Amino acid sequence: MKQQNDIESLVSHIRLRAENFYNAHGLCCSEAIMHVLNRGLRGGMNDQSILAVGSGFCGGMGGDDGTCGALTGAITMIGLFLSPHSPNGLSKKEASSAAKELHDRFKERLSSINCNDLTKELRNNRRARLKNCQKITGIGAEISATIILGRRPDLIAQANYEFLAARDTKLKLLTSKFSSYFKRTSAAADSIKIQAEEN
């Protein structure tokens, strides 16, 4: 019972963090899900690589309104954590079964796996569409995390709870970027000054 409570708590953190990343960082659904699950469950890929891999699924695979990026990103994480090529992964048959379960649960929950179907009524309302996609991102992360942790409860102990509990805002990120920019600019100016004094 405790393990099930731990899984449910961790899944809740993952869902909220994926929704937060989608909104605050301006990521698409697949990028947010993949980044949060990889970093939150310590999947081993660096942030830049996981975002690069996830970017092709945005907007229904390359913006073509095909299979929803939240589903493709979530299935990619099934591969990262459950495939036989992963440390402590499952058999090929078990990993394939997990991916099918994710597909079926996603479709049952949202009535479609197609980006166009999930967003067509909101095409002319950007704010409503983003809110809808943020919710779908959370659902994709939630289903994927539930399946992964149900089959790999060992991941609970290595989860990055500090990252998963954090919440970013657009203002906080903008402030951080400006701060970083001014530090780099100041360091460059100091370097130029030192070089000028040496000459």
Residue position matching structure tokens 């019972």: 1
Residue 78, both tokens? 């099934």
Query: What integer is the mean pLDDT of 59-83?
Result: 91
Query: Which pLDDT band, with edges at 50, 70 and 90, does 179 fall under?
Result: low
Residues 119 and 191 in one domain: no
pLDDT tier at 193, thresholds 50, 70, 90 = low
Give the residue carrying structure tokens 């919710």. Answer: 135
Q: What is the mean pLDDT of residues 165-182?
A: 68
Place of tokens 């459950």: 82
Percent residues over pLDDT 90 in the chain: 69
Number of domains the chain is built from: 2
| Whether residue 54 is found in the same domain as residue 134 | yes
CA 192/CA 182 separation, integer angstroms: 15
- pLDDT bucket at 113, cuts 50 / 70 / 90: very high
87's tokens: 């440390």
Token output for 84: 């036989």
Same domain, 86 and 177: no
Residue-wise pLDDT tens digits, 21-58 = 999 999 999 999 999 999 999 999 999 999 999 999 98
What the block records as the tokens of 102 is: 């994710």
pTM: 0.84
Examine the domain organization and report whether 88 and 176 are in the same domain. no
